[in-house]
Amino acid sequence: MEKALGNVANRLLFENERVKVWQMDLAPGQSSDFHEHKLPYVLCIAEGETVDADFENGKSIRIPVTPGTVYFVEPGSRETAVNRSNTRFLEFLIELKGG
């Protein structure tokens, strides 16, 4: 049975024909919806030390993060973001629609 997909982050901040800008704000112990990155994303880390990505196959990876770091994510990844650290995790995700 396939898992239902939710939003890529907690809150949609802005959208037009070219981009969607999301906020992912996770307190220690919180997790996101299970989601899929269907388009390319730019991730901008604002707060945090680590964030985990739990995949549907049971695999989990811990990603060290530093505020001010920017990442580019190719489409295709399906995961749940989990904050297993003791500090808040805050990032802004820019979904690139193209056009």
CA distance 6 to 48: 23
Q: What is the CATH number of domain 11-96?
A: 2.60.120.10
- Determine contact, residues 44/21, Cβ cutoff 8 Å: no
The answer to whether residues 87 and 47 touch, using CB atoms and an 8 Å cutoff, is yes
pLDDT at 92 over 90: yes
Look over the chain and give the mean of its residue pLDDT values, rounded to a whole number. Answer: 93
Count of Cβ atoms closer than 10 Å to residue 66 Cβ: 8
- Each residue's pLDDT tens digit, 25-48: 999 999 999 999 899 999 999 999
Tokens coding 76: 């295709």
pLDDT digits (tens, 9 = 90+) for 66-88: 999 999 999 988 999 999 999 99
